[in-house]
Structure 1
Amino acid sequence: MSNTDTAADALRSVLVPTDGSDAAEAALERAIAIADREGATVHVLTVMDTTSGPLSFGIDDIHELEDVKERLVADLAASADDHDIDVTGAVRRGRPAEEIITYAAEHDIDQIVLGRTGRGAVTEALLGSTADQVVRTATVPVLVVPDATVSDDE
Structure 2
Amino acid sequence: MNLLVPIDDSDPARAAIEHAVTTFPDADITVLHVVDPETAMYRTDAPFNFERLLDIEEEKAETLVESAREIAEERGHDGSLTTEIVIGDPVRTIVSFAEDHGIDQIVVGSHGRSGVSRMLLGSVAEQVVRRASMPVTVAR
**Both structures adopt the same fold (TM-score exceeding 0.5):** yes
Root-mean-square deviation (CA), in Å?
1.8
Q: Secondary structure at the match of 2:24?
A: helix
Q: CA deviation at 1:128?
A: 1.8
Equivalent-residue separation in structure 2 for 1:83 and 1:124 (angstroms): 33
Q: Is the 8 A contact 1:101 1:134 kept in 2?
A: yes
Letter in 2 for 1:25: R
Are 1:40 and 2:40 counterparts? no
Are 1:117 and 2:93 counterparts? no
Residue 22 of structure 1 is matched in structure 2 by 11
Greater relative contact order (Cα < 8 A, sep 6+):
2
1:121 to 1:33, Cα distance in 2 relative to 1, 3 A: same
Q: CA deviation at 1:22?
A: 0.6
Equivalent-residue separation in structure 2 for 1:95 and 1:106 (angstroms): 16
Letter in 1 for 2:56: E
Matched residues, number: 133
Q: Is the 8 A contact 2:40 2:53 kept in 1?
A: no
Identity in percent: 39
Q: Is the 8 A contact 2:18 2:71 kept in 1?
A: no
Residue 141 of structure 1 is matched in structure 2 by 135
Equivalent-residue separation in structure 2 for 1:69 and 1:54 (angstroms): 15
Q: Is the 8 A contact 1:50 1:57 kept in 2?
A: no
Structure 2 gap segments, 5+ residues each: none
Residue 68 of structure 1 is matched in structure 2 by 60
Are 1:80 and 2:72 counterparts? yes
Letter in 2 for 1:62: L
- TM-score when normalising by structure 1: 0.79
Equivalent-residue separation in structure 2 for 1:57 and 1:129 (angstroms): 27
Q: CA deviation at 1:93?
A: 0.8
Residue 8 of structure 1 is matched in structure 2 by none
Give every structure 1 segment of 4 or more consecutive aligned residues whose post-TM-superposition deviation is greater than 4 Å. none
Letter in 1 for 2:23: I
Equivalent-residue separation in structure 1 for 2:105 and 2:48 (angstroms): 33
Write the deviation string for residues 18-38 of structure 1: whole angstroms up to 9, x where unpaired: 1121111111111001221xx
